[in-house]
Structure 1
Amino acid sequence: MPTYTLTAFDKSGEKLLDETFEAANDEEAKKIGEQKLREHNCCDKTHRCVTSSGQLILFHR
């Protein structure tokens, strides 16, 4: 299964979330990433989710 990295930051630049997880495809990874953001109250923070090859699949600024 492909590996994805989800990262969220505070306005000060502090890293609030940095998790790596596996998903069957990009759509599933996007759903998992959004769920993890909700769990950590980071939906409104700057965040991104990328594939192991660096492809951006989820981003909010």
Structure 2
Amino acid sequence: MSKVYKLTVFEPTGEKLLDESFTAESDQQAKEIGQKILNEKNYQDQTHRCTSPAGALLLFHR
């Protein structure tokens, strides 16, 4: 069953650069999808987080 995950990217000022939801079958798949989105949009070095529907932090970079 697919779940909805949330990927958010921030500027150092706190401004959101990306606020995107996506679906995945598992937390591991969500981590892979989240990393792919970050790489495609060239946000991998920006402050970001990816959270699960249960609130677990799957990806984080400060």
What RMSD, in angstroms, separates the aligned Cα atoms of the two structures?
0.7
Moved over 6 A (4+): none
Deviation at 1:13, TM superposition (A): 1.4
- Offset of residue 17 of structure 1: 0.7
TM-score (norm 2): 0.92
Percent of aligned positions with the same letter in both sequences?
Answer: 52
Q: What residue in structure 2 maps to residue 45 of structure 1?
A: 46
Q: Which sections of structure 1, spanning at least 5 residues, go unmatched? A: none
SS at structure 1 position matched to 2:55: coil
How does 1:1-61 map onto structure 2 within 5 Å? 1-61=2-62
TM-score (normalised: structure 1): 0.93
Q: How far off is 1:48 after superposition?
A: 0.3
Q: Give structure 2 stretches of 5+ with no counterpart.
A: none
